[in-house]
Structure 1
Amino acid sequence: MTHPALAGAPVYLDYNATTPVDPEALEAALPYLTAHFGNPSSGHAYARAPRAALDHARRQVAELLGAEPAEVIFTGGGSEADALAVRGAALAVRAGDPGRRRVVTPATEHPAVLRSCDGLRAEGFIVTPLPVDGHGRVDPGDLRAAVREGDTALVSVAYGNSETGTIQPIAELAAVARQSGALFHTDAAQAVVKVAVDVAALGVDLLTVVGHKMYAPKGVGALYVRAGTPLRPVIPGGGQERGLRAGTENVAFAAALGQAAETARRELPGSAVRLAALRDLLQAELEARLPGRVRLNGHPDERLPAR
């Protein structure tokens, strides 16, 4: 897509860092910044429209992921969703089974995951780093060697890397984690809206969605939490979001995220093909114009289309 704000501006290629806000997402947010400003948790008439908007946005995000609406928790962004997944799951699993105090993750993860692991290490967890190959991919065999029956609480591996675009074999990795009795989290910030993401097919327990990577505003995200997955809140308080994320919900930004998810679901089949073609064209042109000076950093085939 070409965003109106970018018309006539220098070419912007850093969509892995952030995207502009889609006009449809902005339009979805505006009523909840103006007319429908009520607290969705209140018991009076001003809460009805915001509460309905939250429910609608939750359904939209769930439909994009192949999840149930009750499995979608809105957060204040991707880092918070990662922290809730990593810290919340590890602590909840250990509370139910004190022997499970190992977390396994590659060193190539986003800092939100790595710093959460650092915090768990300080609380007595063992953090085991996973190796990656020359393309940045995790071998399921290496994960099988790293997890130990009865002692691993959580495995966290990002779906697609923000620097290289390398896609991980998430379904295979999740199956390995499941065989060991561990939960599996994937940060899908870079994958959602670029490739089809189906949580049931992947077999994941937790999955992070980030608004500003998919044409919604900064400051909103979501965490898919498979029904029955043990999880502790990292922000305690008033019991919003099924008691997993306290704080009055940002209805306007949730509405924007929901609309961005709906737009992505509508456009994904064609856009993924088109964007992969554009990615390959850019690489071919660079290689032709800069012979011998261009090197692909990432997997040659298992990689994201740039959007």
Structure 2
Amino acid sequence: MFPKSLFPIALLSIISLGSVSAVDYSETYVGCVPIGTGTSGALYSPSVYIIEDCNFACADAGYTYAYFSNPASSFCSCKNTGPAPGDISSVASGNTNCGSFQATVNALATDYSFQSCYNSPASDDTTSQSTFDSCFERCSTYTNALVAPAGTTYTCLCSNTTPSGTAESCGYDGTFFAYSHTAISSPSLVDRRRRRLERMKRDEQLRLNRFCPGGLQACIVPGSDDSFECIDTSSELESCGGCLYGSYTNSTAPAGVDCSILRGAAFGGATCANGRCEISACREGFQLVDGKCQ
């Protein structure tokens, strides 16, 4: 097992733009959310004090969205999912000022640039989409994508006409977040963007497993919050399929199973193979039926 003190996270090397290698990302504002949404479910939370450092830290760690809460707590939350339609809240003033007790959300893996918010923009293609990402993808062959929360979905407008008129405060009912980019026409460009997103997600998986050699997971040791041990959860009898007491690096990882205490299994009659418990013998009074002792 290894104590946490042997693996300190050097925040200065994470958040200082001058001390880490440059990463390929371009932040795009996608709105404000309540501070609870911005800080919950965080997969990676460096201590930063300006939004630019939050964007950089999240992109450098392989995430596709950065949630920055300020000035309530100056908290940076990195995620791979954008805000749900019902989470979008109104700005304090202007177009991008989320104000106190809200989190500003930026997408980090898109070539779109935020322009402003409008009430009734022109549309060449109108659909209902579940995420910002799906709207951006839908509008990839148009020069403009416009997104507005509408209950449990987003109304997505694709247009080759630049939005005009008076810019509105973002987040209010009926307003569309307007984005522009260079419209793509070649499928190869779509493939390159998709591969970029996949690479960022692979890099994130590597980060989650950085404490242990390949094939092993860093699992929390019960009774010692500052320690972990490296386990092969594909074959470990007492942590089969995941860490029994939780992953040291990934709070959302599935929990493992202790195959040695399965109901009715005989002593030595259970093994772990490919992350699943397999029973070969049951105790007296039980019968093996469909892989279980009954």
* Same fold? TM cut 0.5: no
TM-score under structure 2 length normalisation: 0.24
Higher helix proportion (structure 1 or 2): 1
Q: Which has the larger radius of gyration?
A: 2
TM-score under structure 1 length normalisation: 0.23
Q: Which has the higher contact order (CA 8 A, sep 6+)?
A: 1
